[in-house]
Amino acid sequence: MTPPQAPAAKPASRNDWQTIRALLPYLWQYKQRVVLALSLLVLAKFANVAVPLVLKNIVDHLDTGKAALVVPLALVLAYGALRFCSSVFGELRDAVFAKVTQGAITRIALQVFDHLNALSLRFHLERQTGGMSRDIDRGTKGIAFLLNFTLFNILPTLVEIVLVAVILLKKYDWYFAAITFFTIVIYIAFTLGITEWRMRFRREMNDLDSKANTRAIDALLNFETVKYFNNERWEAERYEKSLRKWEDAAVKNQVSLSLLNAGQAGIIALGVTALVWLASSEVANGRMTLGDLVLVNAFLLQLYAPLNFLGFVYREIKHSLADMEKMFTLLGQNTEVQDSPGAKALATSEAALHFDQVDFGYDRNRQILHGVSLAVPAGHTVAVVGTSGAGKSTLSRLLYRFYDVWEGRVSINGQDLRDLTQASLRAHIGIVPQDTVLFNDTIYYNIAYGKPGASREEVIEAAKAAHIYDFIQKLPDGFDTMVGERGLKLSGGEKQRVAIARTVLKNPPILIFDEATSALDSKTEKAIQAELKAISANRTTLIIAHRLSTIADADEIVVLDGGRVIERGDHRSLLEADGAYARLWALQQHDDESQPLPLLSAG
């Protein structure tokens, strides 16, 4: 026997460049919009840089005191037009790029959703729903921030720095550009160094936020259990501990942010002071005009304003990348069960099932099934019975191919399940599980879920077949009644009948009843059993049962014990064999006979 498969390995940690590269394909599908937005961005920056040049000419002209009014007026109009163009081009850029941002978010969110649905049952049994939903929410918001601020703040600032540097080098002495660049380099180096140091606090905040949210969601989903044991205070204290840890990380994050802001302000103040002093000296010496001083000062204010904002943008981009990292890590989760390259679609109205020498376990240390073999001929009913933990429900999970067997094989009409597409395989199987979980929607939606697009008449007929139609009609909202989170507004029996109805609606050739009537009272159980027998006629049916009375009519009964088949035969032959099945039958008959009669309430 080969060793059992290990759970899928966790993806390696991503770096920022990997995250950015993962995002690029989603942008390039809108390449025409991206190019147009970048063109508008450059035009806006050209207009913005031209504003101080026009302002210089205005000041120089007025300073000479010799110009006719028409010349300054023309310059003033040009100044206003450039200001207007800078704003209009910026707004047009935002409007053009909006489709890129929102389209990328939509595609990524949909891909994450599809990928999570495609992941194995093992992943979903181990996941923490609250924390995972928080990771996805932060990740999608991070995409919008990253795209908008990278393209519309960092890139424009870089373009503006280059344009300003060209003008300074061309019109003035080299040390004006040198001081400007030196200040920018010191500023960027300081910002990068402190921000990298601060990122550990942000990541710690994210982790603690996800853990706190996981605990809160877990407690709310299991609120009945919380109330059963009077543990509201206990849950609040657990949540508070998580919040306190998050609070400590948030305080460290804010203190380090204040340090970064103060340092950035100091660097910019020194740079501006040095340049203004230098320009003032040049004006005093007659080598520069008053307009030149205004130009240099305007350039500095125009350059350092976005540069100051650039510090905030870089910090937030790093935060966004950290937020996106976890979301893209979800996309990196390996799908444990995948369609083989040559997988074929199953298409049949009659299905014969075979479990051939199947070995299986959920992890390396615990094997569940040991060489299990059983067959369900097309149109026949086979029941599997045994004590809890014998491996009965594992058979249904293998049949759905939620997991792959270690050894042996499971086949339909002689075709190994691993050679079939999962979608076509599952389309041929209908199940009524022991633990029915419903969507927080209407009863109609939950029944129709078995066959999306079914007509209302089909849904009603399915409800009647499951003996739930009369109950629904008595409800104030009928089929439009909301069932609540996980169907908690319905009783266990009502939920199970909804599950039966949607399986009837699906109308598959293979049926699995996993303790399908375990939550029903005796009267309803008998009615449902008759319906189950009717709908399973001429269908290949696998019944996983605890109550032996419900499977006495099965064509074959297989008894599992410790993951091994210890008996098989029909009901009569197994009783005559006087083995494990006969002992289980006798024990249940004795238990049923010893049950006290229900008390009648005094009217």
The CATH number of residue 419's host domain is 3.40.50.300
Calculate ∠ Cα 584-588-590, nearest 5°. 120
Handedness of CA 448, 451, 457, 463 (dihedral sign): negative
CATH number, residue 115: 1.20.1560.10
Q: Which of 280, 301, 299 is nearest to 54 (CA)?
A: 299
Looking at residue 598, its pLDDT comes to: 43
Dist CA 574 CA 249 (whole Å):
65
Orientation angle between helical segments 70-118 and 16-28, nearest 10 degrees? 100
Task: Answer yes or no: are the C-beta atoms of 121 and 397 closer than 8 Å.
Answer: yes
Looking at residue 354, its pLDDT comes to: 94
Considering the domain boundaries, does residue 6 fall inside one?
no
In this structure, the answer to whether residues 98 and 193 fall within a common structural domain is yes
In this structure, the answer to whether residues 178 and 302 fall within a common structural domain is yes
Q: Please say which residue of 331, 358, 378 terminates a domain.
A: 331
In this structure, the answer to whether residues 305 and 360 fall within a common structural domain is no
Other C-beta atoms lying within 10 Å of the C-beta of residue 119: 17
Considering the domain boundaries, does residue 8 fall inside one?
no
Task: State which residues form the domain around 299.
Answer: 16-331
In this structure, the answer to whether residues 125 and 227 fall within a common structural domain is yes
In this structure, the answer to whether residues 83 and 143 fall within a common structural domain is yes
* Distances from the Cα of 362 to the Cα of 82, 117, 338, 374, angstroms: 69, 20, 17, 20
In this structure, the answer to whether residues 311 and 436 fall within a common structural domain is no
When divided into structural domains, the chain yields a total of: 3
CB burial of residue 285 (10 Å; 0-12, 13-18, 19+): exposed
Average pLDDT along the chain, 603 residues, taken 10 residues at a time: 41 59 77 85 83 77 56 74 85 84 81 75 63 73 76 74 80 80 84 79 78 81 74 84 85 84 83 82 80 77 68 72 76 75 88 92 85 91 84 87 90 92 89 82 90 90 88 90 82 83 89 75 69 80 84 89 90 89 82 48 33
Run of H or E residues at 513: strand 510-514
In this structure, the answer to whether residues 189 and 326 fall within a common structural domain is yes
CB-based burial, 158-193: b 16+ in 10 Å, e otherwise: ebbbebbbebbeeebeeebbebbeebbeebeebbee
Q: Is the pTM for the entire model greater than 0.95?
A: no
Considering the domain boundaries, does residue 135 fall inside one?
yes
* Distances from the Cα of 1 to the Cα of 357, 359, 367, 391, 553, angstroms: 11, 8, 11, 18, 36
Looking at residue 15, its pLDDT comes to: 61
Dist CA 142 CA 407 (whole Å):
45
Dist CA 257 CA 274 (whole Å):
26
Considering the domain boundaries, does residue 596 fall inside one?
no
Dist CA 402 CA 360 (whole Å):
12
In this structure, the answer to whether residues 404 and 305 fall within a common structural domain is no
Dist CA 202 CA 200 (whole Å):
5
In this structure, the answer to whether residues 404 and 475 fall within a common structural domain is no
In this structure, the answer to whether residues 188 and 327 fall within a common structural domain is yes
> Which amino acid makes up residue 333?
Q
Considering the domain boundaries, does residue 2 fall inside one?
no
